[in-house]
Amino acid sequence: MRLRGRKGIRESLESQPELVVLDGTQYKGRWNEFFGNDRPIYVELGMGKGQFISTMSYRNPDINYIGVDMYDELIRRGSEKARRIWAEKGVDSPPNLALLRANIEGIEEIFAEDELERIYLNFSDPWPKAKHARRRLTHPRFVAKYMEALNDRGEIHFKTDSQSLFEYSLNSFAEMELLTRNISLNLHKDELRDDLVPTEYEMKFYERGQNIHRIEVLIGEQAIAAWRSEKRSAAAAEAAREAQRSDDDADDESEDGEA
């Protein structure tokens, strides 16, 4: 029977301690104990109804996921969705997923330094009025907190339909002198990028034909070093291809000369 009303929702949440966490402070610095392993932890801040985080946990069993939202009802709906998705594998409770009811304002009370490897911000509230800028989840005061919680391989992945929030966020990341990559102003221009797992809001905007903006922000030293080495390898491979093309052109020219 589906429980209804505020009391019913709370009872439903309290009855699922293996999936739902109502007091995140108890796990600060100990989230590995919640999951029972030391795998990397990826967090979605403001998960809504949980489509993204549930699908990610299902697709990537070697990563631990935490979906955060501040509303009981959304956590309840998220728990139903997660169980429905995992039921396809015959699993009742997702082993690598936690749904955390918490206000992101207090994120430093929930995650210890270096405890997270990735933070997803998907379609965060844009707070369009200038006087509300401090509430935007990409405001430097929030980014500074994310930087504390993220480890050496840490990254922030951000998607939004809001051009003004995207512009604001680019400036916020630049102000903090952060490295960014894979910037897109129209993520799904060729076809729906299902590999990046669309969220509920994303599908709504995509179906309306609105552009989705996306960016990755590199935080940890190792993440930055890995990216630099990737770029160096790509540049070396391109130089080798270019040298080969020049050799081929020279051969063609000498053959033409001999003919």
Ligand X SMILES: C[S@@+](CC[C@H](N)C(=O)[O-])C[C@H]1O[C@@H](n2cnc3c(N)ncnc32)[C@H](O)[C@@H]1O
Active site residues: 125
Minimal distance, residue 118 CB to ligand X, in Å: 15
233: helix, coil or strand? helix
Which of 214, 220 has the CB closer to ligand X?
A: 214
Residues at the contact surface with ligand X, assessed by CB under 6 A: 46-48, 68-71, 74, 103-105, 122-125, 199-202
Q: Could you tell me which of 244, 192, 185 has the C-alpha nearest to residue 214?
A: 185
Minimal distance, residue 120 CB to ligand X, in Å: 8
Q: What is the dihedral of CA 144, 148, 152, 155, to 10 degrees?
A: -50
Minimal distance, residue 137 CB to ligand X, in Å: 7
Which of 92, 105 has the CB closer to ligand X?
A: 105
Which of 71, 92 has the CB closer to ligand X?
A: 71
As a whole number of angstroms, the distance between CA 206 and CA 187 comes to 10
As a whole number of angstroms, the distance between CA 124 and CA 129 comes to 15
Q: Could you tell me which of 68, 73, 130 has the C-alpha nearest to residue 105?
A: 68
